[in-house]
Structure 1
Amino acid sequence: MFMIAKAILYFSFAVLIGALILYTVPKEMRPEMKLAKRWLLVFLALIPIFGIGEIMRLTLYLGNDIGYWITFENIVTTFEVGKGWLFLTGISVLLFFMIFFNDVENERFFSILSLILLTGMAVSIGYSSHAASLSPIGLIPHTLHLLAVTIWSGVLLVTGFFSKGKAPGISFYRWFTPLAFVCLLTVIGAGLWLMSYIVPEYVNGYMLDYGQALLIKHVLLVVIVFYSVINGIWIKRKLKEDTGTFQPIKWIRVEGILLFAVFVATAVMSQQSPPHDVAETIKMEHPSKLFRFVTGLVPGNDPMLFFDMTMKSAGWFLSAILLLIAIFIGIKKNANMILVAIISFLAACTLYLTVMSSVSL
């Protein structure tokens, strides 16, 4: 339940920030929108509602002895996660009334001001993150990572699913391609920064549920980067050459769906224990069932994973390459969107199996 709440939180934040970024762009450089103001307000209201999930989880875990209401009050007023949620809620209320009383779609000043407030909301989420509890500057990489992923995916989701009429043209790609590239670099840089705090034993972390979710997130990002190259280079060139028959909207949708899958993986991670010391963590909780099922390995005391390339892992890697080529051919041939989306997830699965078939104890 809490994982679903986290995924909805990220999705709502992404749609909001994506819509507001598009509103700051001149109309001739963005698709025509069909996202009504009431839906912006609904997504905004969902953020503090589903942002309370971690507080509720702690309340249920700690409140058995002294009472749930007293525990809830203590968490909200004394825990960093509670203070962050209060700040998040306060900004949400302020932004709600700003959007309600102003035309953020057509008045650029208010759309920019709304983006500034949304950045403050991202900081409040970063303030209550696990990385921030480990280091005073831990909120910086978490906030940067959150903003980069939600900006990138938000523009794609809103463009793909909340635009009407003609698909975005070359003028859209001229500003979005460099923006997506900056977001990608930020995701990588902030992600490595976060991992230095949370997952210092990245490979050994595969033995735990947290590490499995992180690996799934990373293989999805590999496929997303492949889509970004296609959307940012090949489709951009295609639009320059094409007379108007080529419509890239469905490939924007598939990339947005893949990024939403990253939100789901991140939500799963948020409910697991970060593996600061894998050997100690395994003593307190069972190894990942997925890890044991896929690899057939059973970690013992003080386990250590290492990579050993095999014929099986080489076969999975070749399959991943072939599936990535199939994605490009499908886009080039303007194939069915659902079929290409399925191939995309299969490519992520084969990349995952490439890694998992390469590890041994």
Structure 2
Amino acid sequence: MFIVAKVMLYVSFAILMGAFILFTVPKSKRFEIKLSKKVLLILIGLIPLFGMGELLRLTNHLGEDFGYWLTFQNIVFSFEVGKGWIFLTGISVLLFFMVLFNNVAEERFFAGLSLFLLIGMGVSVGYSSHAASLESFGILAHTLHFLAVITWSGVLLVTGFFSNGEGPVLSFYKWFTPLALACLFTVIGAGLWLMSYIVPEYVNSYMLNYGQALVIKHILLFIIVFYSLINGVWLKKKIKEGSNSLSLLKWIKAEGIILFLAFVTTAVMSQQTPPHDVAETLQMQDPSPLFTLITGLSPGENPMLTFNFSFISLIWIAVAALLIFTVFTAIKRSKGIAFVTTASILASGAIYLAIMSSLTL
């Protein structure tokens, strides 16, 4: 339940971010968006509710001895995660009335103000993050990472699933391509920054559930970058050559689906203990069942994973390369979105197996 709440929090943020960004762009450089004021208000109202998931998870974990209601009150008013949620809720109320009393879809000024308030809500997410409790600049790293992800994914999700049926045009790519690149570099930079003190033993963390979710997320990010190259370079070229842009819209949807899967892995990570010291963490919890099942390895007292590429891992790399080539070929031949998405997921699985099969203790 808590994972579902986290996923829906990310999705709500992303759709709102994408909508407000597109509403601030002149109509000549975008398309008509099928997001009514009612839907926007519902999404704004859901964010504090989904954000409460972390509070309820902590209450469920800590409340057995002291009483759940008293524990919940203490978390809300004393814990950083609770203060962040209060901040998030307060800004969401302002944003709700901003959208309620103004036509943000037509008035770019109010769309910009709404975007500013939503960014403030994103800062509250960074304030209540685990990174903020570990490092003085953790709030900055987490906020940058979070805002970059929802900006990039939000525009894609709204473009793919909430447009009026028209495909992307060249004027859209002219501003979105540099925005997407800026988001990509921010995600990578802030992600490495976060990992430096949250997961300092990156490879060793594969033995834990957190590390398994993290490596799957990174593989999905690789697939997303591959889609970005197709959507931002190759498809843009096809539009210049006069191809029907409507037929290209489904590949933006496919990228949005992979981004959603990345949200799911991020939500799973949020429910796991970050492994600052893997050996110490393994003394308190069992290794990841997925890790032991796939690798057949059993961590000892001083576990230290290393890469040793074998014949099997090379085969999985070849399979992954073949599947990625299949995805590109299928897009060139305009195959169905279900086939391309399935092949992308299988490519991700092959990359994961290539990594796991190359690990030794």
Q: 2:65 & 2:247 partners in 1: Cα distance?
A: 60
Q: 2:246 & 2:76 partners in 1: Cα distance?
A: 52
State the one-letter code of the partner of 2:255.
E
Give the alignment's TM-score, normalised by structure 2.
0.99
> Structure 1 residue 65: deviation in Å?
1.6
Q: 1:244 & 1:214 partners in 2: Cα distance?
A: 38
Q: Say if 2:270 is the partner of 1:270.
A: yes
Are 1:3 and 1:267, in contact at CA under 8 Å, matched by a contact in 2?
yes
Query: Once the two structures are superposed, what CA deviation does each residue of 1:165-216 show, in whole Å capped at 9, x if it has no partner?
Result: 3212111111111111111000000000000121000000000000000000
Match of 1:10 in 2: 10
Are 2:168 and 2:245, in contact at CA under 8 Å, matched by a contact in 1?
no
Matches within 5 A, 1:140-151: 140-151=140-151
Query: Once the two structures are superposed, what CA deviation does each residue of 1:145-173 show, in whole Å capped at 9, x if it has no partner?
Result: 11111111110110100011321211111
Q: 1:244 & 1:338 partners in 2: Cα distance?
A: 20
Q: Residues 96 and 305 from structure 1, CA distance in 2 versus in 1: closer, same or farther, beyond 3 angstroms?
A: same
Match of 2:41 in 1: 41
> Structure 1 residue 68: deviation in Å?
0.9
Query: Once the two structures are superposed, what CA deviation does each residue of 1:64-116 show, in whole Å capped at 9, x if it has no partner?
Result: 12211111111111100000000000000000000010000111111111111
Are 2:84 and 2:125, in contact at CA under 8 Å, matched by a contact in 1?
yes
Matches within 5 A, 1:204-243: 204-243=204-243
Query: Once the two structures are superposed, what CA deviation does each residue of 1:234-270 show, in whole Å capped at 9, x if it has no partner?
Result: 0000000025366211000000111111110000000
Matches within 5 A, 1:327-346: 327-346=327-346
Matches within 5 A, 1:137-176: 137-176=137-176
Are 2:166 and 2:245, in contact at CA under 8 Å, matched by a contact in 1?
no
Matches within 5 A, 1:14-29: 14-29=14-29
Secondary structure of the corresponding residue to residue 46 of structure 1: helix
State the one-letter code of the partner of 1:82.
G
Q: Say if 2:175 is the partner of 1:178.
A: no
State the one-letter code of the partner of 2:249.
I
Match of 1:283 in 2: 283
Pairwise CA RMSD:
0.9
Q: Say if 2:126 is the partner of 1:126.
A: yes
Query: Once the two structures are superposed, what CA deviation does each residue of 1:281-332 show, in whole Å capped at 9, x if it has no partner?
Result: 0010000000001101111111100000111111111111111111111110
Query: Once the two structures are superposed, what CA deviation does each residue of 1:42-77 show, in whole Å capped at 9, x if it has no partner?
Result: 111111001011111111111112211111111111
Match of 1:136 in 2: 136
Match of 1:30 in 2: 30
State the one-letter code of the partner of 2:280.
E
Q: 1:115 & 1:197 partners in 2: Cα distance?
A: 31
Q: 1:290 & 1:244 partners in 2: Cα distance?
A: 44
Q: 1:246 & 1:99 partners in 2: Cα distance?
A: 30
Query: Once the two structures are superposed, what CA deviation does each residue of 1:120-154 show, in whole Å capped at 9, x if it has no partner?
Result: 10110000000000012101110011111111111
Q: 2:244 & 2:235 partners in 1: Cα distance?
A: 12
Q: 1:302 & 1:243 partners in 2: Cα distance?
A: 58
Q: 2:217 & 2:352 partners in 1: Cα distance?
A: 10
Q: 1:224 & 1:166 partners in 2: Cα distance?
A: 22
State the one-letter code of the partner of 2:133.
S
Match of 2:116 in 1: 116
Q: 2:245 & 2:333 partners in 1: Cα distance?
A: 13
State the one-letter code of the partner of 1:181.
L
Q: 1:163 & 1:235 partners in 2: Cα distance?
A: 18
Q: 1:227 & 1:357 partners in 2: Cα distance?
A: 26
Are 1:33 and 1:163, in contact at CA under 8 Å, matched by a contact in 2?
yes
Are 1:239 and 1:246, in contact at CA under 8 Å, matched by a contact in 2?
no
Q: Residues 256 and 245 from structure 1, CA distance in 2 versus in 1: closer, same or farther, beyond 3 angstroms?
A: closer
Q: 1:246 & 1:357 partners in 2: Cα distance?
A: 41
> Structure 1 residue 29: deviation in Å?
1.0
Q: 2:154 & 2:339 partners in 1: Cα distance?
A: 23
Q: 1:156 & 1:35 partners in 2: Cα distance?
A: 14
Give the alignment's TM-score, normalised by structure 1.
0.99
Secondary structure of the corresponding residue to residue 343 of structure 1: helix
State the one-letter code of the partner of 1:100.
L
Q: 2:74 & 2:244 partners in 1: Cα distance?
A: 60
Match of 1:260 in 2: 260
State the one-letter code of the partner of 1:113.
L
Q: 1:291 & 1:242 partners in 2: Cα distance?
A: 48
State the percentage of identical aligned residues.
Answer: 62
Unaligned runs of 5+ in 2: none
State the one-letter code of the partner of 2:271.
Q
Q: Residues 304 and 243 from structure 1, CA distance in 2 versus in 1: closer, same or farther, beyond 3 angstroms?
A: closer
